[in-house]
Amino acid sequence: MVTILEDGRVGTAILLPDGTVERVLEIPDPTLNLPCTVWSPDDERLACEGFNDDDPSQTGIYSVRAADGGDLVRVTTPPAGMNDIPGDYSPDGRQLTFKRTTGEADAPLMLVDAEGGEPRRLNESAYGDSGRFLPAGDSVLTSAGGRLVFLDLDGNVVNSIEEPGAFLFGAVSSPDGEWIAYSRTTPGVFSADIFISRVDGSDLWRVTTTSANEINVEWGAGPG
């Protein structure tokens, strides 16, 4: 989770399932803010959105060792005035999907080698989410205009899920690739609930019914 360090910078805390803070990661560069929320498939590394309000040249995606925040590696360097928001590691851990944008505005998705290099734009369309890989590694799940969108790695739309009168976003596949979980809201309602469905949109189930805004959903790896 994102946390505020003692010196006021934005950093990362690792929590146990019961909410206990297990550790707070050090940031190797004392000038960098580094919230890290994207785990590599082997849990060895985290992808992070780095920034320094006094030095825009430090903006970009970095990765660190998940155990302690060490071994800082710069992965991307966006053009001036833009920022890169990490989305997901590919199942083999070799690539990252991310959104290159201004602030959090809808923008094209990109792929880059996990160790850094020249990123590749998937297509010219703008998407709301930074993208999550499906377990097979051959497609990315994102959202656009309130519908969920499946893209292959050439940027082609291979499937989409939409619901008239609803706004769907923040989708992620279950570990077995059979289900997706996502947030759903409706126009004029300033909170979202969590739903799950099959990857084709069938077998829709509502998971939460609260007045809170429930986003950033993730599947657990264990039973239940």
Report the pLDDT value the prediction gives residue 135, as an integer from 0 to 100: 96
Cβ proximity of 103 and 51 under 8 Å: no
Report the pLDDT value the prediction gives residue 222, as an integer from 0 to 100: 56
Judged by DSSP in three states, 164 sits in coil
Model confidence pLDDT, tens digit, residues 81-108: 999 999 999 999 999 999 999 999 999 9
Res. 34: pLDDT tops 60:
yes
User: Rounded CA gap, 174 and 66, in Å?
Assistant: 22
Query: What domains are defined for the chain?
Result: 1-115 (2.120.10.30), 131-224 (2.120.10.30)
User: Rounded CA gap, 198 and 206, in Å?
Assistant: 12
Q: Which of 193-215 are b and which e, b meaning 16 or more Cβ less than 10 Å from the residue's Cβ?
A: bbbbbebeeeeeeeeeeeeeebe
Cβ proximity of 119 and 76 under 8 Å: yes
What average pLDDT score do residues 56-70 get? 97
Query: How confident is residue 224, by pLDDT bands cut at 50, 70 and 90?
Result: very low
Please name which of 128, 129, 89 lies closest in space to residue 111, comparing C-alpha atoms: 89
Report the pLDDT value the prediction gives residue 17, as an integer from 0 to 100: 87
Q: Which of 70-90 are b and which e, b meaning 16 or more Cβ less than 10 Å from the residue's Cβ?
A: eebeebbebeeeebbbbbbbb
Contacts of 194 (CB under 8 A, 6+ apart): 181, 182, 183, 184, 206, 207, 208, 214, 217
**Positive or negative: CA dihedral 140, 142, 87, 61:** positive
**Positive or negative: CA dihedral 105, 110, 213, 204:** positive
What six digits make up the tokens of 64?
A: 């660190």
Other beta carbons within 10 angstroms of residue 158's beta carbon come to 12
Mean pLDDT for the chain overall: 95
